[in-house]
Structure 1
C-alpha cells in the first residue's frame, strides 16, 4: 500500500490592509486594529475613521483566509484561522503582522507609540502576536473577545509588563458567556497583571462612544 506524505512549501503571498490616511510617517501614534471573524478590513476600519488625525493613524490588516458568509456565493468575509492547520495559520499571522509593522516603522524617523485593538476573533490573534512581537505595545485593547487560551503565559507576563491592558464588552453581547468570562478571569489571574474592564450598553459591536473614551485616554 502506498503511503501518503504531507509536505509544505513557503512562497511569497500578497495580503491587503487598510489605513485611515496616506501615512506621512510623522504620526505620533499608530493603532493596529484587527477585525473579527467574517469581516473585511476596508469596512472594519470605517469605525475608526472619525478619530483619524495628522498625529494618529489607524492600520487594519486583513486576515488572509476567505470564505463566503453564506452558501457558495454572495458576501465574502475573512478570518484569522480555523481549526484546520491552526498552528500554521497562527505562524502565518505572526509573519504577516511582523512584516507589516516592520515596513511601516522603518519609514519613521521618530518611532511612534504603538497601540493594538483586537475585535472578536481578532482579539485572540492580537494577544498572541503582541506577546511575541519584538516591539513594545503601549496599550492592548481586547474588544468583544479576550486573551487567547493558548497564550504562552511566561512570554506574555514579560511582554505585557509595561503594556496597559483593557477588556471591553457589550452588556448584550450574545457571544459572551459565563463560561468564557470564567476562562478569561483565570487567564488574567495567571498573567498577574492589572486589566481594566469596560462595558457599554450594546451587543457584539464597536461602540463609538466607548471607543472615543479609550482613544482619549491614550493621549
Structure 2
C-alpha cells in the first residue's frame, strides 16, 4: 500500500527586515525580495544608501520561509541561505509565501497614508516570487522591478495580463550576469510585450548582483513620477 499525501496548514513565524520608520511622512514603501540562497539581513544592506538619503522612504525585505545550509551543515557553522520555494510541493509553497507577503504588506501599509507609492522589487528568484504574489496582492504597486530574474511563464495568461495592465515594469540586468544572457533578457522583454507591457530595460556593468547606481536611479525616478 502506498502512502497517502496530506497537507496541514500551520502557524509559523516569518522574518523581515526594515530600513526607515513608518509614519504619516512616509512617501515611498519598497518591498524587496531576495534571491535564492540569500538572507534578508544582508540583502537589505544594498538599499541602505537610498534609505539614509531619503527619510520618507521605507524599505521592507521579507525573508523566504525555508532556510538551509549553503555548503553542508559543517557542524552547524556553515553559511545559511533562504529560498522562496523549490520544485517539491511547489504549489503549497507558493500559497504559503503569497499568504505571508499579503499579511506583511497589510501590516506595513496600515501605518502609512493611502497615497504612498509602493515599489515592488524582486531579485533573481525573488522576481518570480513577487510576480506571483502581486497577482493575488491586496494592493496595486506603482511599479514592478524585475532584477536579474523573470516573470514566471507558467502563470495563468488572463491573470498575468490583468496584473500587468497599466503597471510600469523595469527589467534590470548586469552586462556580465552569469545566469541571464542578452538573449534571455530580450526573450523576457518580448514575453512582457505579449502581456501588453513595454518594459523599461536597464543594463549596468556588473554580474548577478544589485548595483548602487541603478538603485539610486530607480529611487530618483519613483520620487518624480
Query: Shorter-chain-normalised TM-score: which range?
Result: over 0.9
Q: Does 1:30 align with 2:29?
A: yes
Q: Unpaired runs of 5+ in structure 1?
A: none
Q: Give the C-alpha shift of residue 193 in structure 1.
A: 1.1
Mapped to 1, the partners of 2:173 and 2:209 lie a distance apart of: 9
Alignment pair present for 1:177 and 2:181:
yes
What secondary structure, in the 3-state scheme, does the structure 1 residue paired with 2:126 have?
Answer: helix
Structure 1: how far apart are the matches of 2:186 and 2:204? 19
CA-atom RMSD, angstroms?
1.6
Q: 1:215 to 1:177 in 2, by over 3 A?
A: same
Q: 2:127 aligns with which of 118, 123, 127?
A: 123
Matches of 1:114 and 1:178 in 2, distance apart?
29
- Cα shift at 1:134: 2.3
Q: Deviations over 1:111-153 (max 9, x none)?
A: 4211100001001111111122121110100111111121222
Compute the TM-score of the two structures, normalised by the length of structure 1.
0.93
Partner of 2:9: 10
Aligned to 1:139: 143
Q: Within 5 Å, which residues of 2 pair with 1:1-219?
A: 2-52=1-51, 53-73=54-74, 74-177=78-181, 180-181=184-185, 183-219=187-223
Is the 1:168–1:199 Cα contact (8 Å) retained in structure 2? yes
- The SS at the match of 1:148 is coil
How many residue pairs get matched?
A: 218
Asked if 1 retains the 8 angstrom alpha-carbon contact of 2:22 and 2:111, the reply is: no
Structure 2: 5+ residue runs without aligned partners? Answer: none
* TM-score, structure 2 as length reference: 0.91
